[in-house]
Amino acid sequence: MLKFKTDYKDNDIDILVDNARTHTVRQYNLNDFGKNIGSRCPVDVIEYYDENDIKKTIQYFFSSGPHQNKSKGLLQLAKELNIILPTKCFLSQLRELLSEYPAFQTVNNRFLVLYQEYSSFFLENEAGKFS
């Protein structure tokens, strides 16, 4: 251990431990968000990877205007994401529509999420497994 202590003394080391049964993860749970402006919201920003593995960030609070510092709500978020909504949209419908969006989809393997975040640290071997 002393060799590693001196070799990596100027590096920050994060240890990732997976102790899940299913090894699935959802970036954000739609049930934690409210429908309308000013409703409940567990995060300030929503970060996710699109279908091209490009990191995207959505601000979930208004930064200016009459609703400054209020949460946007799922209805406003859907409008900003150009999701086509029915004329009278219920919360259950809204959650169903947004569940198709990458930020709210279930990822089958937690290590895929970690790989996207820290891809330069993972190497794939011939069997297609991460090491």
What is residue 23's predicted lDDT score, i.e. its pLDDT?
47
pTM for the model stands at: 0.60
Distance CA 70, CA 118 (A): 32
**pLDDT per position as a tens digit, 14-64:** 554 444 554 444 467 788 899 999 999 888 888 877 777 777 888 989 999
What is residue 131's predicted lDDT score, i.e. its pLDDT?
46
B/e letters for 106-115, b = 16+ CB within 10 Å, e = fewer, are ebeeebebbb
- Within 10 angstroms of residue 76's Cβ, the number of other Cβ atoms is 17
